[in-house]
Each structure stands twice: as structure tokens, then as C-alpha cells.
Structure 1
Amino acid sequence: MIIYQSTAKAFREDTINEVLVDNLYKAYQEKIGKTTKSEIRSWENSLAKMSNVLYDPDIPGDVSVAIEFNIPNTSKRVDFIIAGNDGHNDNVMIVELKQWEFAHKVEGKEAIVETALGGGIRETVHPSYQAYTYAALITDFNESVRTNKINLVPCAYLHNYFVQEEDPLTDKSYSFYIDKAPVFRKGEINKLRKFVKQYIKQKDQSDAIVQIDQGKIKPSKSLQDALKNMIQGNEEFYMIDEQKVFFEEALALFKQSMKDQKKRTMIVEGGPGTGKSVLAINLLVEIINKDRLAMYITKNSAPREVYAAKLQGTMKKTHINNLFKGSGSFTKAEENEFDVLIVDEAHRLNRKSGMFQNMGENQTKEIINGSLLSIFFIDEHQKVTFSDAGSIDEIEEYAHALGSEVIKRELVSQFRCDGSDGYIAWLDDVLEIRETANKNVIGMDYDFRVVDSPSELLELIKEKNKLANKSRMMAGYCWEWPKNERRNVDYHDIVIDDFGMSWNLNTTWAIDNSSVEEAGCIHTAQGLEFDYIGVIIGDDMRYEDDQIVTDYSKRAKTDQSLKGIKKLAKDNPEEADKIADKIIKNTYRTLMTRGQKGCYVYCTDQNLAEYLKTCMAYVVKEQHDLQMVAEKPAPYSLE
């Protein structure tokens, strides 16, 4: 989605006539949602500088420009775009605008600089790296860019930055990215103009900005599909902005711990789709390639088995098994036995280990004790069983007790749910997990629908799955899983009127070609991602008396998520209800955020279905198309 699109001439006129802020404000309100003119005005200085850049007789007035383009599947935006033709090819310039006045070089961290941000001096990515990765992401996601051979040309313009001798911004350590995305500073406007005129000599022939804005988005790379190439040393995922900052910081901590042999613990907090697993796997790959002993840890076996299946044929099975471990594998680990232990889904850690949770002392403590550097990726809103005990407070407590330095960071950028922070905030509010400003406005291009039957839900998912085998059905654990029928695909565990389907046969259900007609549950879905998901919400969550009601008695007896809750209920029924309510809501939140492109929902409780439809007061089904539901109901959703 693009906030503002015009010709270079009209953009210059809007700037000169001082109407650009008003036009941007109006467009932002229509396409994104609420903002303030003061927020928009913060762009004014940078955009005025870009207007000056384009004030050149050799830059045609009819070439296209655009402001604030949302990169597909992320919450990131390109500041400024110029589209044109060099006489042979259509080119699109990606311009990253910065108001920085200085930057410091950061030693030992690739593509990281230090500058004034958020009221302090902070580390961030080099502007050339940012522009380069943004262009690479657009190319990766946008099939129209590749098909029409539109060349993306990234650069950065720091119009307040004074050039200095031996400038840290252009230090040779950043040359790889500067070569790919040149950086221009204060006083270098003519250099920037010259750069623009290399690629923009006349109007483009393919409506390149329209192609970028409305072009077909190919199925995104998923972590499980890219793992094999990552292990073999090929770059599969571009880490952007704070992802790259945290990755380099983690590597620096790793190098420092290997050097001084001091314990360190890094905690990275982030919601669903913020790239925690991508960071975890990238760190694993980088560290094992340095011949150090590192392991990826997750309680949930599903992602481990998917990753292992993807790596078959690239290394011995024993090697694969040594890379991916369950969280209960360290009860007997000696102090600092491992160089690095990387814990994904750290909120799922248990206190004790073993089938009967009678082994060891505490999984968090054992992991910190067993490694020089421990890295925990955590989202406390994704605790989905009674035994989930991982928490930031507990990690800090054991780290301090074991003499480990603690470093805390937070991921905020969105790489799932079509890059929409709005959808996740809306979902949290609707499920009454936390209050946000998004209950009545989704304000994004994410494909969310409430359907009227499970059969309709399955047909939608089957159709989407034809694109790339990356769409799956999921359900709340409200139907039994009989032991004798667990390998029988013809046996329907989930039965709703005349609809029936089986629970998934294998933990590799996420990638099996024939599993689109099987339903996954929280235990086989958490930690994995898909293009589209269909979620059946069972009787454990209903809508009564104007509120969400959860009922753990409706969970299947074969579900171990709430094992122990009945015992607690005898002593403290209020506390048991409170814990069960949180687990059930977190379960559906987790399931409903597995899809990168869309989520379709069927509710066994009709009142809940109507409530979800009512909450969808505004829905964006197509880019640039924000409409009141009352004016035009969305298909499968709000009728």
C-alpha cells in the first residue's frame, strides 16, 4: 500500500504550495487509519529536501513518485520512490531518508552504526544496509517486479548529515552495502541528482509503481523451507532494522563470551510474527559455522521435526539431532558445557523435565547453567498449557543467581499477518487478552474472514493450498484423539454435524503434501508459519452476556494442556478459571496468527461468530479499498 502517489512535477508543486502535509494526512487517514498532523509533519523536512533533489531540468516532471510504500509481509515502509526509464529499462529508486546529523562506527558488528534515536544514542542499521534490504525484500515478495524486469535501485539521503574527514558513515567496513546502495549527505545534492539521472531519464513504460503497489505477491519463503540453504551457508532471509541490530549484538556477545569465558544471557521479547524463529535459526547457523557447540532448543517437537525433515540428505541424522533439542535435554548438563544454547518459544519451558515432570530442577536454570551464552526468544502471551512456566522474570532471576550478565531486547516489526501490527492488536482486543485501540478497526490488507460452516472453511483452505502447499486447517483441542485411530486418516476425530476430519497423522503435517485435509492443533502448529490458515474454534470459547467466555471442561480428555487444572480447581476455583481462561485465549490467538496472508475462522458457537463479525467494523479486502461494512459486506464475513 502506498500513502501518496503523483508525478515529480505535482509533488514539487504540492511542496511549494505547502499542501503536501494536508494531502498526506488525508491519504493516511483513508488508507491506514488514525494519525496526527504532527506525525505527518515530521516527514515535511525530508520531503522538502527530496523536492529540491527533483528540481532539475534533466529530471522529467512526468516521472512517477510515491511516499511511504508498505513492504509486503512486513510492517516496514519505504520512505520515497522514484520510477522512470533510463532509455532501455524501467527503474525504481528506493530512497531511505534520514534526518541524522552524525553517526559513529560500531566495531565488530556488520552494518551497524550508532546515532541519536529515541532520545538517546543507540545502535541501528547503516542506512545503505536498510535501503538495500528493503529493495531485496520487495524483489523477493513481488512477482510483478521480477516478471516485468523492473530494476530496483536503492540509496540513502541524510540531508542533515555534515560530511567530515574520515567519515565513519562511509568507513570501508560498510563498503559492501554502500556499493549496493550509495549514501548521500548534506551538501551532496548534486551527487544525488546525478545518481538519479543515471536511472531516471524519461517516464517509465510499465507503470512500475503500480506494479509494485498492486503486483502479485508470491508465496513468501518460510523458515522451514529455507533452513537447508541456510545451513549450507546461503542467505535466505534478509534481516532488517532491529532484527539485524539484535543479530549482530548476539554475535558480539557470543564472541565476547568465547574470549573472556564470562556467562551472558540475552532475552529477546517479541509477539507472533516478529521474526524470533528467523533470528534463532540464523544465529544457530552462524555459530555452528564457526565450529562452536550450539543448539536450537524448543519444547514443541513439531518445529524440530519439520526442520529435521528439511535437512535430510544434507548431514547425518545424528548431527541433525544434535542441533535441535527438546527443552528437557539439559537436566544433567555441566556448567558451561555448551558454548551457546538458543531457546525458541521460551515461554513454553517447564519447571521440571521428563514425562512425569519429575526430572531435574528447572529447565530455565539448567539451560543458563549449561551454556556460556544463552539466548531466550519469548512471548508470554503464547503460553498455552498449564505447565508452561517460562517467563522473563524467571530467566532474569536464574541468570543473576548463576552470575550471568542479562541483556534484554524487544522485537516489534511484523513479518506475519501481512505485516500488520493492526490485526494482532485487533485480535488481542477482540479476544479480551488486552485492550488496544483496534477493537473496531483492523485497518490492513490481511485476509480475515468468518465463515458459516466447517465445510466452507476446508474448501477455502484447499483452494489456497493449491498455490504452494502452505495452507492448513487447525482446531482448538475440543475433540478426542483416540489412540487406536491415530494412524487412520479415514477416521474422523472432529465431527460437526455432517462434517468430519482427522487430527494430523504426523508432526511433519505442516509440510506433508497430503495433509491439507487433516487438522493441526496448538501442539503441531506453534512455532511454524503458513500462508493461510483455517481455524475451527470449538466449544471451549463462546460469547455470552456481552463477553468472551472460556470453558476448560469442553477440552478433550486427550489434551494435556490443562493437566492439573482440576486439582487446582478443588483448592482455588477462581485461580483455576483465571489460568484456564488465559491458556484458552492464548491458544486461539496463537492459531489465528500462524498465517502470513490470511486467517479464516469457523466457530461452533453462533454467538461468537456474530461477535467476531460485529467487531470487523472496517475491513480492507483490497488495497486502497477501506469501506464501512454496512456499505459493502465482505464475502464470507459479515452478512
Structure 2
Amino acid sequence: MNSIVTYRYDKKVINNIKGWQYGNNWPIVYIYYNDKKAYVGETLDAVRRTEQHIKEPEFDDFKYICLISNKTFNKSVVLDLESFLIKYMGADGKRKLINGNAGVVDHNYFYKEAYEDDFKAIWQYLLDTGVVQNSLFDIENSELFKYSPYKTLNKEQFDAVHQILNDLSDINNATSQSIIQVSGGAGTGKTILAVYLVKLLTDIKNKKDAWKYIDDPEEAEYVKWLSQKLGSINNIGFVVPMKQLRTTMKKIFKTIDGLSEKMIYAPEEVTDKYFDLLVVDEAHRLYKRNCLTSADLYITFDEINRKMMAEHFTGTENDLTELDWIIRSSRMQVLFYDEKQAIRSTDIGRTRYEKICKNHIYKYIELFSQMRCKGGNGYYEYIRDVLFKPNMNITKYKKIEDYDLKVVDSMQQLETMLSEKNSEYDLCKLLAGPAWSKNEPIIVDSRQYHWVDKKDDDSCIYSIHKIQGFDLNYAGVIFGNEVFYDDKKQSIEIENSHVKDVRTKRDGELEMRNYILNIYLTLMTRGIKGTYIYAVDEKLRKYLKLFLNQQNGD
């Protein structure tokens, strides 16, 4: 049975805590709060920790302290509960959380699953008493939760953060090797890691002594050491190439203690300043001067390149790219990259990307664990093989556990299934590739739809440009008539005449195929719980069913 008590944070607070059954020498979690802000912590001794906080000026403004424990709690449980509350309160929005995010990591321990109901009951108590304002369901479907710097990291991500910080300490004020590249497929948590890193480095810059409140001596010493080594990294920028995701990130940064929407930049915006560090999300979507989407972009490109290149300026695609601008505008760069998510001729492309980075790379870090799709690590690789590899046969079939994956026979069936899931989970959307232009109606199976740009309703469809970088609970993916299955080649091929996005065609047939299949690979990794698929081409539908629908006997 959970014991939860709340005391006014005044002169009587120490005596009140001493009178509580878990006040001395017992693992507890606590929440300091007032009308505007909150702080979550854990300790093995509530009295001792409160006496420590009383001496800290940053705690003077709090009005209340809420203490939570249970006779079955141990150190592992309170670490997990602390991470749980930080993660959800950070995205709840009622009070700004002032915690740092050092050490917010997923904890495994004996009988962990048994405490899930306790944690939910604790959240319900906080909801009923007005400490928080949103249900767990609503928070989990919010953008702030999905990209919160307080998300708990898995071991691979946590190790990657440590590696990045160690590497930054090595190259800070050092050599011309300034790039740390973090690679990973769709759903491996690159954006979450990028946001986490920016928050942690900003807290270090702002001299938030988070290490004082980490009970693990080894971790506390490590964070203290980092604060000393990385404190000179003052001017930090977060570059987000895609407009839709950049808008979302600005909203999120505005709500996070220590962060600001002014830290978010489009690639062209960094050229007027010089940064200690630029963290770049979705670096595979950085542009070269080729097939740009508007005349204004060409003007911007040429203005920046005239300034940077002087007499070497040519006004062609051989001029500097957005990646070049980033390197020239900062001492150090952390690039989050996935070559399989380059989708247009405007994107720099792997060969040129690697050529630009070659003389600047200090360290490569790779992420493998699938963090989005419940299908796990094997799902992404399997879907990639099904889409890209020729001569696939039934012997290559793989059952995807714990993931709702199905190819359907009609748009009506796809709509019905997705609508049912949306009623249950919310955030279930139709997605499609480049078989329709921006301004034409989308007609599939005699049913008419429109891009989400026109109107967000039950008939809207999201393009790759609106959904890349975002998560859904379920995705309904429509393979348009630009994609078909070729019996002779025994592979998925592209019908050039049906591709309406000219920016996928510029680099030739082979690159066009790669771009478009990259689009569908990305669309098929948006759904956390499941993906439903409809293909206009009947042969493609039959092929996908063979590998994606559950086989008899499974």
C-alpha cells in the first residue's frame, strides 16, 4: 500500500517528515512544487535530503513537498519511480519541471512489472489532488512527451550519451576533427537522444549542479567531471532541417526549463553566428543547391554562398551545401544521420555527405535498438529487405512478434481498421508516397482523399514531408500506382510517369527507386503499435501479403 503525504514547505517541514513512517532511513520519492514549477527527486533518507535542500536557494520558492513510499520500496524501485514521474511531469504541462536530465535512464530490476500498477495509482493520486493535470494516456499521445528531454534512455542510448560527452571533452578547443556522427535507422531514438543531449549540455552551461542530487557516487562524480570539462561550451544551437518538425521543436523547447525556442535553427539561420556546438537532427535532410522547392531558396543559397565562397562562388550545385554552412559556423558538430531517410534530389546524398565530412570526422557512433516500433530490432531490417531486395521468396518469411502488421484488400478495409484503432488509441493516420501531386485530389479505389495541408479531417493523408520525424500509434500506408511488383525482375520497381514529385527524379532511375523506397520504409516505421498497408498494384499487394501477413501455422 502506497503512503503519500503532502506537507507545506515551511519551518515545520522537518518535524513533519520525522513523524512520517518512512521519513528516516527508507527509500522514497519526493516532489517539490508551487503554482508554476516542480522538482522530482529520490533519496534513502527524506529528513537528510530535505535538510540539504533547505540550504539551496533554488528551493526557496516552493510551497509544498509531496513524499511517496511503500513498505516494499527499495533503491531500484525509487529510481524507476523518479524516472517515471520526471518523464510524465515533464510533459504534463501544469508546472515547469526544473530537474536536470542527467541520469534519467531505464532501470531493470527484479519484479519490475509488479510496480506498474503502483506507479499508475500514484499518478492518479497526483491527478486527483491537482499536482498534475493530464492522464497518462493523453500525455503519451502528446508531442511534448514523445520528444521530451526527460524521456528515459535505454542502455544503448545512455552509453551513446556518455560516448558523445567524452568525445566532446576531447575535441573541445582541440583539433580540426570536429564532427561526431550518430547513425541509426528509423525508430532508433535519434531525435530523442539529440534533444536529451541539448538539455544536458545546456544545464551544464547554466551551472545546474545536477550531480549534487545523484545518489549513485560513480554517476555523480562523472556528471561533476563533465560540468568542469564541458562548461566552456556556451553557444549551443539545435538545427532541424524540416520545417514541420522544427515548428514542433520550438513549441517543445519553449516549455522546458533552461531551453528556449531561440535555440532552434533552420540550416540557413546559423550562418550569421558562430557556435561552440551545433547539434543537427535529421542531417540526411540537409540540402544541396539542386532542385530546391522555391525561387526564394535559390536566392538564400546564393546569398550565403557568395558571402562564404567569395570568388569561388559559381551559382551551381557544386557550391557549398547546408552541411558545409554548419561546419563553417561552429567549432563542433553532432550529426544525427540515416542515409535510408534521404528522399529527394535536394538532399545531399551519401557520397557527397561523406566527402564533406571526411576531414572533420572524429567519431562514428551507431544505434541499433528499435525504440519506436513494438516489432523490435528485426522489424526495420525485415521491412527494408522486403522493399529493396530482389528475388525474395517464402523461405525468407519472418514472423514479427508483438506488432500488428497486415496488408489489406481495399481502402475501405484500411479505413475501417484504422478508424477502430483511432477510437481506441488516437494518433492513427493515413500516409502515402509521391504518386499524387500537392494540388490534385487523391483518388484510391474510387474513394477521394486530400493531403493534410488542405484540411485535417477523416479524409486527409499525410505525406513524408509532414510525418518524417514524428510517431503514430498506428499507420495506414498507401502504396500508390508509382510502385509496382515486376514479375520478371522479381523486385519492387518504380513507374516514372506516375511519380509526381519531380525532386525524386532528378538523379536518375536508380536513385529515384532508392528515394521512393526510402519514403515507404520511413512511412512503414511511423507506427508504434502497428502498420496496415494497401497497395494499388495488385501484384505488389500479393507480394507484400506473402511477407507481411501472418502465415498459416504461426
TM-score, normalised via structure 1 length: 0.55
The one-letter code of the counterpart of 1:534 is G
Alignment of 1:497-508 (within 5 A): 497-505=445-453
Q: Please list the CA deviations of residues 386-424 of structure 1 after superposition, one character each: whole Å capped at 9, or x if unmatched.
A: 222143x645543454xx451111111111221512221
Distance 1:218 1:91 in 2: 27
1:548 pairs with one of 492, 509, 521: 492
Structure 2 unaligned blocks of 5 or more: 1-69, 78-102, 123-135, 207-233, 306-319
The answer (yes or no) to whether the contact 1:270–1:411 under 8 Å persists in 2 is: yes
Q: Please list the CA deviations of residues 169-215 of structure 1 after superposition, one character each: whole Å capped at 9, or x if unmatched.
A: xxxxxxxxxxxxxxxxxxxxxxxxxxxxxxxxxxxxxxxxxxxxxxx
The residue aligned with 1:349 is 286
Q: 1:257 to 1:542 in 2, by over 3 A?
A: same
Query: Quick check: 1:340 aligned with 2:267?
Result: no
Query: Quick check: 1:275 aligned with 2:233?
Result: no
Query: Quick check: 1:539 aligned with 2:498?
Result: no
The answer (yes or no) to whether the contact 1:503–1:518 under 8 Å persists in 2 is: yes
1:586 pairs with one of 518, 522, 536: 518
The answer (yes or no) to whether the contact 2:389–2:491 under 8 Å persists in 1 is: no
The answer (yes or no) to whether the contact 1:347–1:383 under 8 Å persists in 2 is: yes
Query: Quick check: 1:630 aligned with 2:552?
Result: yes
For 1:458, what is the secondary structure of its paired residue?
A: helix
Distance 1:611 1:315 in 2: 50
* Cα shift at 1:296: 1.9
* Cα shift at 1:225: 2.1
The one-letter code of the counterpart of 2:266 is G
Distance 1:464 1:250 in 2: 39
Q: 1:396 to 1:451 in 2, by over 3 A?
A: closer
For 1:561, what is the secondary structure of its paired residue?
A: helix
The residue aligned with 1:304 is 246
* Cα shift at 1:468: 4.5
The answer (yes or no) to whether the contact 1:592–1:599 under 8 Å persists in 2 is: yes
The residue aligned with 1:623 is none
The answer (yes or no) to whether the contact 1:474–1:591 under 8 Å persists in 2 is: yes
Query: Quick check: 1:493 aligned with 2:441?
Result: yes
Q: 1:132 to 1:303 in 2, by over 3 A?
A: closer
Distance 1:375 1:135 in 2: 33
For 1:381, what is the secondary structure of its paired residue?
A: helix
Distance 1:131 1:277 in 2: 16
* Cα shift at 1:147: 5.3
Q: 1:434 to 1:496 in 2, by over 3 A?
A: closer
2:380 pairs with one of 424, 428, 434: 424
The one-letter code of the counterpart of 2:343 is V
The answer (yes or no) to whether the contact 1:428–1:435 under 8 Å persists in 2 is: no
* Cα shift at 1:350: 1.8
Distance 1:598 1:399 in 2: 36
Distance 1:137 1:285 in 2: 32
* Cα shift at 1:431: 0.7
* Cα shift at 1:592: 0.6
2:531 pairs with one of 599, 602, 608: 599
The one-letter code of the counterpart of 1:288 is T
The residue aligned with 2:543 is 611
* Cα shift at 1:218: 6.8
* Cα shift at 1:364: 1.7
* Cα shift at 1:527: 1.1
Alignment of 1:74-93 (within 5 A): none
- 289-298 vs 520-529, greater mean Cα deviation: 289-298
The residue aligned with 1:111 is none
Distance 2:392 2:366 in 1: 19
The size of the alignment, in residue pairs, is 395
The residue aligned with 1:362 is 321
The one-letter code of the counterpart of 1:481 is K
1:326 pairs with one of 247, 251, 266: 266
TM-score, normalised via structure 2 length: 0.62
For 2:525, what is the secondary structure of its paired residue?
A: coil
Q: 1:259 to 1:388 in 2, by over 3 A?
A: closer
* Cα shift at 1:449: 0.8
Distance 1:341 1:223 in 2: 26
Q: Please list the CA deviations of residues 63-102 of structure 1 after superposition, one character each: whole Å capped at 9, or x if unmatched.
A: xxxxxxxxxxxxxxxxxxxxxxxx98699999xxxxxxxx
Q: 1:427 to 1:515 in 2, by over 3 A?
A: same
Query: Quick check: 1:287 aligned with 2:201?
Result: yes
Q: 1:223 to 1:266 in 2, by over 3 A?
A: farther
Query: Quick check: 1:398 aligned with 2:352?
Result: no
**Percent of aligned pairs with the same amino acid:** 25
The answer (yes or no) to whether the contact 1:349–1:364 under 8 Å persists in 2 is: yes
Q: 1:135 to 1:494 in 2, by over 3 A?
A: farther
Q: 1:147 to 1:284 in 2, by over 3 A?
A: closer
Q: 1:132 to 1:530 in 2, by over 3 A?
A: closer
* Cα shift at 1:324: 2.0
Distance 1:254 1:503 in 2: 42
Alignment of 1:169-318 (within 5 A): 221=140, 224-226=143-145, 230=149, 235=150, 237-258=151-172, 260=174, 264-289=178-203, 290-291=205-206, 292-311=234-253
Q: Please list the CA deviations of residues 475-522 of structure 1 after superposition, one character each: whole Å capped at 9, or x if unmatched.
A: 11212322xxxxxxxxx821224312221127xx9xxxx555421101
The residue aligned with 1:448 is 405
Q: Please list the CA deviations of residues 142-169 of structure 1 after superposition, one character each: whole Å capped at 9, or x if unmatched.
A: 96574589xxxxxxxxxxxxxxxxxxxx
The one-letter code of the counterpart of 1:339 is D
Q: Which has a greater percent of strand?
A: 1
* Cα shift at 1:272: 1.0
The answer (yes or no) to whether the contact 1:365–1:395 under 8 Å persists in 2 is: no
Distance 1:544 1:434 in 2: 10
Alignment of 1:142-161 (within 5 A): 146=119
The residue aligned with 1:457 is 414
For 2:195, what is the secondary structure of its paired residue?
A: helix
Structure 1 unaligned blocks of 5 or more: 1-86, 95-128, 150-216, 483-491, 566-575, 620-628, 633-639
Q: 1:136 to 1:254 in 2, by over 3 A?
A: farther
Distance 2:506 2:529 in 1: 36
Q: 1:274 to 1:497 in 2, by over 3 A?
A: closer
Q: 1:417 to 1:315 in 2, by over 3 A?
A: closer
* Cα shift at 1:333: 4.8
The one-letter code of the counterpart of 1:346 is A
* Cα shift at 1:134: 3.3
Q: 1:308 to 1:457 in 2, by over 3 A?
A: farther
For 1:417, what is the secondary structure of its paired residue?
A: coil
Distance 1:278 1:435 in 2: 36
Distance 1:369 1:137 in 2: 51
Distance 1:434 1:612 in 2: 13
* Cα shift at 1:265: 0.7
Q: 1:433 to 1:340 in 2, by over 3 A?
A: farther
Q: Please list the CA deviations of residues 571-604 of structure 1 after superposition, one character each: whole Å capped at 9, or x if unmatched.
A: xxxxx11111111111101101111111111111
* Cα shift at 1:262: 6.2
Q: Please list the CA deviations of residues 49-69 of structure 1 after superposition, one character each: whole Å capped at 9, or x if unmatched.
A: xxxxxxxxxxxxxxxxxxxxx
Distance 1:595 1:272 in 2: 11
The one-letter code of the counterpart of 1:134 is N
1:134 pairs with one of 86, 89, 108: 108
Alignment of 1:8-27 (within 5 A): none
Distance 1:417 1:610 in 2: 24
* Cα shift at 1:340: 1.1
Q: 1:227 to 1:91 in 2, by over 3 A?
A: closer
